Amino acid sequence: MKELLSQKVLQLKPSGIRKFFDVANEIPGVISLGVGEPDFATPYHIREAGIRAMQSGKTFYTANSGLYNLREEICNYTERQIGLTYNPNNEILVTVGGSEAIDIALRTIINPSDEILYIEPSFVSYLPCIVMADGIPVPIELKAENQFRLTGKQLEDVITQRSKVLILSYPNNPTGAIMEKSNLMELAEVIKKHNLLVISDEIYSELTYGKEHVSIASLPGMKDRTILINGFSKNFAMTGWRLGYVFAHKEIMEQMTKVHQYAIMCAPTVSQYAAIEAMKNGEQDAAYMRESYNQRRRYLYHELNRLGLPCFEPEGAFYMFPDIREFGMSSEEFAMDLLDQEKVAVVPGSAFGESGEGFIRISYAYSIDELKEALMRIERYLQKKREAGK
């Protein structure tokens, strides 16, 4: 059968997470710290707005770019949050999650053999989406000692004549890193100098701790060259609703809308109505969830230190990315062994690109009690390993 299939797709590696999921899912009594979504259910007033939409028969397609009312509310919200003004008529598109936005943005801008720069470790979709759109992926390896931030120098070093776009994702999954304004300023200079575009995936923008989120699009001269992606999944605990959005210059947007129109038609209508409520009245919910994540973040960070696992202190999202190199195992071996011995599921760092090797991703979108139980098991596991290694 394979000879009938696309070479490009055949050559894609299946997601490392998928493989791990298949194993973990079969083990009874497993306690998971492997989930990349909030533990909160969608706030009830937002669910109610979805229910009302269904009850009143809002079951039709919407405009390709989304309900006008929603686009307008997203623009208002974005203006309040990061001070950027976008035109709801021609600079925004409502998508099926942030994931669709990544895909269509890449498909809209890539010509074959364009080089696409992206940071690593990072979300699992960038590389395959670049490949599917015929781009040449150019990973930029981030370092724990730089707090997993990208420097202007690192960027400058990989730029060639064929470089087209830089994909940024801060706050970052899986490292929990953020970029501060000064870091972004440094990048912006390089980006402008080499006339690059930016795809900035800011899906965790509400989840920073102690420092305000800064969008690269808000820096001087950057708005027009930035495709800004955000969504409802993480900020409003709406993963299953599949709803995101993307802002871009109207000339980019016009082309991107075609891809969306032919591939998707429009984002789910009921989800769009619920999202209007999230934009209008959801800021309290986001603040509440942020405070709760922050408590768990402090707790988990303290505990990882106590267990002697070197870990960079994350300032965003809901992940920690500790270093497990002292055990001399690959991150996949480590995660499999931990699962087998203590029934704790974490995600091997290598699932987020080669530079994630030697690390594991631990999610703290879990209650303190669940974290406690999992940490007790991890502690037991580490002790055994360390004793065996002596």
Partner 1 sequence: MESSLSEQILKVLENNSRLTNQEIAIMLGVSEEKVHMKIADLESTHIICGYHTLIDWDKVGYEDVTAFVELRVTPQGGDGYQKLAEKIKEFPQVVTLYLMSGAYDFLVMVRGKNLKEISLFVSGKLASIEEVQSTTTHFTLTKYKELGVDFDMGRPDERMVVTP
- Binding region for partner 1 (CB under 8 A): 15, 17, 20-21, 24-25, 30, 32, 34-37, 39, 41, 123-125, 173, 287, 291, 295-296, 298-299, 302, 345, 347, 351, 368-369
Q: Are strands 319-320 and 344-345 parallel, antiparallel or unpaired?
A: unpaired
DSSP-assigned states of every residue in 259-270: HHHHHTSS--HH
**Alpha-carbon torsion angle 48, 54, 55, 59, nearest 10:** 160
Please, what is the angle between helix 269-281 and helix 283-306, to 10°?
Answer: 80
> Closest CB to partner 1 among 187 and 199?
199
* Beta bridge partners of residue 117, listed in sequence order: 138, 166
Q: Quick one: 24 or 96, whose CB is closer to partner 1?
A: 24
- Shortest Cβ 41–partner 1 spacing (Å): 8
344, 374 contact by CB (below 8 A): yes
> Least Å distance between CB 17 and partner 1?
5
For residue 250, how many C-alpha atoms fall within 13 Å in the half-sphere facing its CB? 6
d(CA 211, CA 200): 18
> How far is 41 from 56, CA to CA, in rounded Å?
23
Q: How many Å from the N-terminal Cα to the C-terminal Cα in the chain?
A: 51
- The dihedral through the CA atoms of 65, 114, 172, 219 has a sign that is negative
Nearer to partner 1, 91 or 100 (CB): 100
Nearest approach in angstroms of CB 291 to partner 1 is 8
**Residue 43: DSSP 8-state:** P
Q: How far apart are CA 82 and CA 88, in angstroms?
A: 16
Q: How many CB atoms lie within 10 A of CB 181?
A: 15
- Name the phi and psi angles at 362, rounded to 5: -115, 125
State the nearest-atom distance from the C-beta of 107 to partner 1, in Å: 20
223 vs 296, which CB is nearer to partner 1?
Answer: 296
* Closest separation in Å from C-beta 175 to partner 1: 14
Q: Peptide bond before 174: cis, by omega within 30 degrees of 0?
A: yes
Q: Give least dist CB 277 to partner 1, A.
A: 22
Least spacing, CB of residue 134 vs partner 1, in Å = 23
CA-based diameter of the chain, in Å? 67
The pair of structure tokens assigned to 380 is: 């037991």
Least Å from the CB of residue 6 to partner 1: 23
Q: How far is the CB of 289 from partner 1 (least distance, A)?
A: 13
- Both tokens assigned to 4: 């009938």
**Nearer Cβ to partner 1 (293/327):** 293
Nearer to partner 1, 53 or 351 (CB): 351
Two structure tokens written together for 313: 């202190």
Please, which residue, 20 or 247, has the CB nearer to partner 1?
20
Between residues 38 and 135, which has the closer beta carbon with respect to partner 1?
Answer: 38
Q: Compare residues 191 and 371 and give the one whose CB is closer to partner 1.
A: 371
